[in-house]
Amino acid sequence: MARHSQHLKPESWLVAAGRTIEAGAPLNVPPIPASNFLIGQGRSYARNDATPTWEAVEEIVGGLEGGRAVAFASGMAAIAAVFDQLPAGAQVVLPDDCYQGVTGLAMAGEARGRWSVRRLALTDTEGWQQACAVADLVWLESPSNPLLVVADLPAICAAPRKPGTIVAVDNTFATSLNQQPLEFGATLSIQSATKFIGGHSDLLAGVVTTRDEQLWHDLRRSRELTGATPGAFEAFLAARGARTLALRLERAQHNAMELAQRLSHHPLVSCVRYPGLPTHPTHAIACRVLKGFGTIISFDLRGDATFADAVCRNVSLIRHATSLGAVESTMERRAAIAGQEHLPPTLLRLSVGIEDVDDLWADLDGAIRRAAQ
């Protein structure tokens, strides 16, 4: 793989990292669908030793995050590998607003007696600082999904912790360009590469990054033993998608801010959640912690779930679909998702893409007004 100066800016690193340097080698690391390699050159079996395609993704993301990365078959595979590091009877602390996949995995483990789970509001900074001193896994998600609460990560990650405590941050919504949790003192930074890294809704992958050398080896060992390895083509697509992350994020964040401001004045919208708005409860923390406010907006409609579902059906440029972080804008009613029933029934989560912002607004505003007729 290529070696680069530590002085490269993130935008340059995204383009330059994860490439070969040998004369005559392909400029881009190709998809290598090999399960085994000729013995004698340090690599024999892909599940144990990885492939150059996986390593390209790991170099790109690891360099952005300031650590060493391990790539997995999906975001949930990466998350499961983190939980796999816990001892029997561990104490786990989760945010009250959290991705339902993490909640489901944590609760299933608690039901089997593997660990105990406690929930905390992300705004309870003192509570999280105290949790670092007693818990085995402190799991943070900032901004959170889907309420977009921004935690005071510098204060929490700097808190004293008992030996062996893992402070993990799901960095998917922020991306490595807006936030580097390891710089704050987190043990791990996790991203679903399915989202912003890939950026085109065409792959499943996950990445965990750490500065703890032993933990890095343990995570690779978990990947090896569980077989949670990324596919060759998926890894290739993730590396290719990462090249344009900075451009995509810049455009989509601009669109998101504009749409959030327009939605905040819409007569049929009762609440807009976007960290870039001064009205957001954690706006002050976001201004201090984040380099950008992201591309996700959550907003509540005035009406009921039937009205909100009709809005989702009425959009055309915006796609009525789940997931986020891609070039296309997507929207869904989150309380309709299993495990999210506790959310406001009219809350729509909008992942803003790179389309023309006026076209997006015409589609969204038109869908709301048609549903109200």
Residue tagged active-site, from 19, 68, 99, 349:
99
Among 97, 136, 152, 170, the one annotated catalytic: 170
Nearest CA among 349, 347, 324 for reference residue 252: 324
- CB neighbours of 152 closer than 8 A, spacing ≥ 6? 125, 285, 289
99 catalytic per annotation: yes
Q: Pick the catalytic residue from 47, 221, 262, 369.
A: 47
Look at residues 13, 328, 295 and name the one whose alpha carbon lies nearest to residue 174: 295
Q: Is 313 a catalytic residue?
A: no
Q: Tell me whether residue 152 is one of the annotated catalytic residues.
A: no
Catalytic member of 19, 68, 161, 195: 195
Residue 291 designated active-site = no
Indicate the SS3 state at residue 347: strand
Among positive and negative, which fits the CA dihedral 218, 224, 230, 235?
positive
Helix (H) or strand (E) segment spanning residue 219: helix 213-226
> What CA–CA distance (Å, rounded) separates 206 from 76?
7
Is residue 302 within 8 A of residue 269, CB to CB? The reply is: yes
Determine how many CB atoms are found less than 10 A away from the CB of residue 269.
18
Q: Which residues are catalytic?
A: 47, 99, 170, 195
